[in-house]
Structures are given as C-alpha cells and as structure tokens.
C-alpha cells in the first residue's frame, strides 16, 4: 500500500492502525529515528524542537 493510502486508512479507522503503520507515516513526513530505549523509539524532525517518543 502506498503512503497516501496508508494515511487515509489510518485516518478513517485509527483503532485498527498498527504500530508499523505509524512508523511508516512518521518517517514519510521527514522524521528520522534517533534511538531506541526498550520498546520506545525516538524520532526527530528537522523543523520540530521536540522529539517524538513512540512506544510499541
């Protein structure tokens, strides 16, 4: 599935979204993975001052 289709599917039924879907979408908007701590993955976007901490 392409990223646009994935984005639409997650938007229309967020309860059925998988963690891997969110990873693809976060990276599609330009964020890069900065590290991992246990089950948490840390992402950083060049234009955002804060980091995104995603638990999976």
Query: In this predicted structure, what is the pLDDT of residue 3?
Result: 81
Query: In this predicted structure, what is the pLDDT of residue 49?
Result: 92
- CA–CA separation, 46 and 37 (whole Å): 21
Global pTM reads 0.75
Query: In this predicted structure, what is the pLDDT of residue 31?
Result: 94
Let me know: does 15 contact 46? Beta carbons within 8 Å: no
Query: In this predicted structure, what is the pLDDT of residue 33?
Result: 92
SS3 content of the chain, % helix, strand, coil (to 5): 40, 30, 30
pLDDT digits (tens, 9 = 90+) for 1-56: 788 899 899 999 999 999 899 899 999 999 999 988 888 899 999 999 999 888 87
Q: Which of 46, 12, 5, 54 is nearest to 29 (CA)?
A: 46
């Amino acid at each position: 599935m392409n990223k646009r289709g994935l984005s639409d599917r997650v938007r229309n039924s967020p309860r059925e979204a998988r963690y891997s879907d969110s990873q693809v979408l976060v990276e599609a908007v330009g964020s890069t993975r900065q590290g991992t701590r246990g089950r948490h993955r840390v992402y950083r976007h060049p234009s955002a001052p804060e980091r995104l901490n995603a638990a999976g």
